[in-house]
Amino acid sequence: MTADPSFTRSDPAPEVAARPTHRVRTWLWGPAFVAAIAYVDPGNVAANLTAGARYGYMLVWVLVAANIMALLVQYLSAKTGLVTGQSLPELLGRRMRRGPRIAFWLQAELVAAATDLAEVIGGAIALNILFGVPLLWGGVIVGVVSMALLSVQSRHGQRPFEFVVMGLLLIITIGFMAGLFVSDVSWGDAAAGLLPRFRGSESVLLAASMLGATVMPHAIYVHSALARDRHGHQPNELPRLLSATRWDVTASMIVAGAVNIAMLLLAAASLQEATGTDSIEGAHAAISSTLGPLVGTLFAIGLLASGLASTSVGCYAGATIMSGLLKVRVPMLARRAITLIPALVILATDVNPTWALVLSQVVLSLGIPFALAPLVRLSGDRTLMGRYANQPALQIISWVVVALIVALNVALIVLTLGGLA
């Protein structure tokens, strides 16, 4: 890996990046909240509800640990984009030979495909719950609406896109947390769930799924571009921008973490004794039956907002990855249409959509080290980052996070393939 002596940003894809500002805006928050949508997508819903319904409060610790990791990871990604003026995919694309670069892009695209699969399926399930729309047509509707959301970014720039996504995040927060206030949560058991432990191979599978749904690879890639594209490359303003970014990331991760933990607590309190909760539809029916139709409706609305917002951000991330690694610029709407196909195929078959969501999150978990290890390496490189490179203590903590994630994935593979109970 060679050093980049200058911090000159490469030209982003026209439809991926908004024009940078040439002065620091008064309101600096926003990019982290867009990235945070990845942390409350339908994959999170499937993984968290399944974990709570099957294991109660036992896996609360996974969400807490994952959210702490996410806070660190997203800040490093945003910092790298601001300091270098380049996205993480661009930095990697400049430093890799052609063969490794294509291989790296293929695994990143697989991760992006898994992300999109979960988001479209989740939105389709929500439309089916709310309006009885068949799953296949629901997937088509989600794809069309996501194209409309992406057109906001393409035509009006990043700031209006941020406002739209943050509005959807508010709806998601209300929808997924409403039931928590009327459910009988055992706070003592929830506190006991902070003790790390597993119970058989399936609990490891769910933990990996929850991790993959929380620390999402495509969010790692895209946050560097979101921060760079919003603020431009302004070396003289970096202290102020980085300070604002820390607050941006902290606030967004608190919101995302609260929503995820609320989902697991809701399932642990209300769904353990219910039947048919192995699907999102069944969980919704149980929530409506136990906590009332209003809570069930708010949950479904939150799920729909989650699918619409996250699939738009996921497509944005996919375009960032392709542009940075391959220097190929596919029109955003064309990419949206192509990446919609796998999800529609799943929805047209007899595959259990909820289980497909959970497995997609496992794929994401396996892809995390490929995004995270280069990020830690680059953000700690003084020849690239200058005085903003990670300090030794932060670099050590970052590598420990990478090691923990890899260890969980190795355990997942060994236990699942070995069939241990």
Give Rg (Cα) of the chain: 20
**What is the predicted pLDDT for the residue at 11?**
42
Q: How far is CA 188 from CA 115, 191, 380, in A?
A: 34, 5, 40
- Measured distance CA(360)–CA(319) in Å, rounded: 20
Strands in 15-89 per DSSP E: none
Number of domains composing the chain: 1
Print pLDDT tens along the chain (421 aa): 444 443 344 444 434 444 444 444 445 567 899 899 888 988 788 889 989 999 999 999 999 999 999 999 999 999 999 999 999 999 999 999 999 999 999 999 888 888 888 889 889 999 999 999 999 999 999 989 988 888 887 777 778 888 888 899 999 999 999 998 888 999 999 999 999 998 887 888 788 878 877 888 889 999 999 998 887 778 888 999 999 999 999 999 999 999 999 999 999 998 887 766 667 888 888 889 889 999 999 999 999 999 898 888 888 888 899 999 998 888 877 888 888 888 898 888 878 787 777 677 677 778 888 999 999 999 999 999 999 999 999 999 999 999 988 887 777 777 666 654 4
Phi first, then psi: give them for residue 57, nearest 5 degrees.
-90, 5
**What is the predicted pLDDT for the residue at 111?**
84
Q: Is residue 26 part of a domain?
A: no
Q: How far is CA 320 from CA 54, 96, 218, 222, in A?
A: 37, 17, 9, 6
- Residue 333 tokens, joined: 């709407």
Cβ burial, residue 346 (10 Å; 0-12/13-18/19+):
buried
Find, among 267, 306, 313, the residue nearest to 290 by Cα: 267
Q: Is residue 19 part of a domain?
A: no
Q: Is residue 15 part of a domain?
A: no
**What is the predicted pLDDT for the residue at 260?**
94
Task: Judge whether 336 and 150 are in contact, CB under 8 Å.
Answer: yes
- Measured distance CA(79)–CA(227) in Å, rounded: 8
Name the packing angle between helices 293-326 and 332-348 (round to 10°). 130
**What is the predicted pLDDT for the residue at 8?**
40
- Measured distance CA(55)–CA(49) in Å, rounded: 10
Distant-in-sequence, close-in-space partners of 161: CB < 8 Å, separation ≥ 6: 18, 34, 149, 152, 153
Angle at 191 between CA 189 and CA 192, to 5 degrees: 60
Q: Is residue 3 part of a domain?
A: no
Q: Is residue 23 part of a domain?
A: no
- Measured distance CA(275)–CA(60) in Å, rounded: 22
Distant-in-sequence, close-in-space partners of 20: CB < 8 Å, separation ≥ 6: 228, 229, 230, 231, 232, 233
Four-residue CA torsion sign, 102, 107, 111, 114: positive
**What is the predicted pLDDT for the residue at 88?**
96
Residue 206: strand, helix, or coil = helix
Domain that holds residue 47: 31-418
Residue 58: strand, helix, or coil = coil
Q: Is residue 345 part of a domain?
A: yes
pTM of the model: 0.86
Q: Is residue 77 part of a domain?
A: yes
**What is the predicted pLDDT for the residue at 371?**
93
DSSP code of residue 181: G
- Long-range CB pairs of 348-352 (<8 Å, 24+ gap) are 348/136, 352/279
Task: Judge whether 400 and 65 are in contact, CB under 8 Å.
Answer: no
Q: Is residue 5 part of a domain?
A: no
**What is the predicted pLDDT for the residue at 17?**
42
- Measured distance CA(335)–CA(73) in Å, rounded: 27
State the CATH number of the domain containing residue 242: 1.20.1740.10
